[in-house]
């Protein structure tokens, strides 16, 4: 669960059955109910981001790199998720070139940063 530096309050009403489920989970995992709710909310947001990224990728609206960024995953993690979900993973020459350009840009930035820190 990400660290909570700045917080905002969110008040929601939930069905009693869901509140009981939350309480049971919290008890089973030796957590306070609020901490379990936060954990589940973080997990749900992460899962939804991944689902949305896969959907956009499958529809051809974004490429792999952008889908990984939207999902909050590395390209390799996204590739694994795509395989698990059975989404078609087309990889065109144009996409490969674009991704290589991005890798080279990142490598150059990294080299510049390393060189300036040696000075």
Q: What is the pLDDT of residues 19-61, one digit of tens each?
A: 999 999 999 999 999 999 999 999 999 999 999 999 998 888 9
57 and 45 within one domain: yes
Distance CA(24)–CA(77), nearest Å, equals 32
What is the phi/psi pair of residue 30, to 5°?
Answer: 55, 45
pLDDT, mean over the chain: 85
Say if residue 116's pLDDT is above 80.
no
CA 13, CA 66: separation in Å to the nearest integer?
35
More confident residue, 43 or 1: 43
- Whether the CB-CB separation of 70 and 49 falls below 8 Å is answered with yes
Q: Say what the pLDDT of residue 35 is.
A: 95
| Residues 26 and 32 sit within 8 Å (Cβ to Cβ) | yes
Mark whether 71 and 100 lie in a shared domain: no
Return d(Cα 36, Cα 53) in angstroms, integer: 26
Count up the domains in the chain and report the number: 2
Q: State the pLDDT at residue 43.
A: 96
Q: Yes or no: say if 82 and 58 are a contact pair by the CB < 8 Å rule.
A: no
Residues 72 and 101 placed together within one structural domain of the fold: no
Is 38 inside a domain boundary? yes
pLDDT value for 17: 96
Tell me whether residue 84 is in a domain: yes
Q: Is residue 5 part of a domain?
A: no
Q: CA angle at residue 76 from 72 to 81, to 5 degrees? A: 70
Q: What is the dihedral of CA 72, 52, 77, 39, to 10 degrees?
A: 60
Whether the Cβ atoms of residue 81 and residue 92 lie closer than 8 Å to each other: no
Same domain as 21, residue 70: yes
Domain, as residue range, for 94: 90-119
Do both 71 and 103 map to the same domain? Answer: no
Q: Is the domain of 66 the same as that of 101?
A: no
Same domain, 83 and 29: yes
Residue 20 sits in the same domain as residue 58 = yes
Q: Are residues 28 and 63 in the same domain?
A: yes
Whether 68 and 108 map to the same domain: the answer is: no
- Pair (80, 98) in one structural domain: no
């Amino acid at each position: 669960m990400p660290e909570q530096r700045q917080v905002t309050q969110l008040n929601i009403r939930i069905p009693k059955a869901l509140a009981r489920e939350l309480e049971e989970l919290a008890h089973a995992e030796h957590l306070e109910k609020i901490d379990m709710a936060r954990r589940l909310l973080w997990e749900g947001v992460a899962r939804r981001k991944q689902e949305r990224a896969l959907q956009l990728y499958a529809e051809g609206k974004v490429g792999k790199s952008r889908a990984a960024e939207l999902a909050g995953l590395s390209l390799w993690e996204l590739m694994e998720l795509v395989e698990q979900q059975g989404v078609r993973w087309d990889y065109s020459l144009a996409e490969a070139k674009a991704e290589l350009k991005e890798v080279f840009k990142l490598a150059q930035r990294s080299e510049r940063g390393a060189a300036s820190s040696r000075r």
